[in-house]
């Protein structure tokens, strides 16, 4: 009887480990693109190019009480699950582990890799966020305290969402425009709510694109991407 209990315990431990397996980045911090090596620094307050950042910030504030402003507040959600929700429609399939396990397995690791890329870039340069710079409130007050000392450059929301969108667009190229349109809106939402300048978002898209390009040189990524594409075909 004792052996049975021990075997049952070992089985439960194994199941727990599988269900709670840590998601691992495809790339190390040294392998992800280094933003400071190829992207320009964000404009300073005294630069003439900063005017566009200021203008877009003011334009964003004017949209906060509109339907688009409501969407921007919803888009403050930084989770991968939220990206699954907003991309399911454009992608043409419900994105969930239960429905498309190979695709979500790929997206989980892409998201984790994007977080590594985001942290590396933000740790290299501290740029004050717009709402802090101008001492103004945002429509997402619950996020202000946690993010007020976090670098505005580049936009983490944009890096992760754009990376996930690019991969989904590669899996389902017929829907690439719809997927990328929603991804573009998600990034613009960060300007509307006042957590980022336009240049933070623009440079984040470039960094994210460079990251996905680098991932195509990673064997593990390519193998999982192929599995994801085959799974998608089975749903057509």
Which of the residues are catalytic? 157, 190, 196, 200
Spatial distance between the Cα atoms of 95 and 85, rounded to a whole number of angstroms: 7
Q: Can you spell out the DSSP letters for 103-154?
A: HHHHHHHHHHHHHHHHHHHHHH-----HHHHTT---S-GGGHHHHTTS--SS
Spatial distance between the Cα atoms of 55 and 158, rounded to a whole number of angstroms: 20
Instruction: Name the DSSP letter for residue 1.
Output: -
HSE at residue 130, side-chain half, CA atoms within 13 A, is 29
């Amino acid at each position: 009887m004792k052996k049975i209990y021990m075997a049952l315990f070992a089985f439960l431990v194994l199941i727990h480990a599988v269900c709670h397996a840590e998601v691992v980045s495809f790339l190390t911090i040294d392998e992800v693109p280094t933003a400071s090596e190829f992207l320009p620094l964000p404009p300073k307050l005294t630069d003439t190019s900063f005017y566009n950042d200021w203008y877009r910030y003011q334009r964003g504030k004017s949209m906060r009480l509109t339907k688009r402003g409501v969407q921007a507040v919803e888009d403050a959600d930084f989770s991968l699950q939220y990206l699954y929700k907003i991309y399911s429609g454009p992608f043409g399939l419900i994105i969930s582990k239960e429905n498309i396990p190979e695709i979500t397995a790929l997206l989980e690791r892409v998201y984790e890799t994007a977080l590594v890329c985001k942290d590396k870039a933000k740790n290299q340069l501290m740029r004050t966020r717009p709402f802090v710079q101008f001492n103004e409130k945002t429509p997402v007050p619950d996020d202000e305290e946690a993010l007020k000392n976090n670098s505005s450059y580049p936009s983490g929301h944009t890096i992760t969402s754009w990376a996930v969108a690019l991969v989904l667009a590669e899996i389902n190229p017929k829907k690439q425009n719809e997927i990328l349109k929603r991804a573009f809106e998600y990034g613009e939402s960060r300007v509307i709510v006042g957590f980022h300048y336009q240049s933070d978002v623009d440079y984040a898209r470039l960094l994210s694109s460079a990251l996905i390009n680098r991932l195509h040189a990673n064997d593990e990524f390519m193998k999982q991407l192929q599995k994801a594409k085959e799974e998608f075909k089975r749903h057509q």
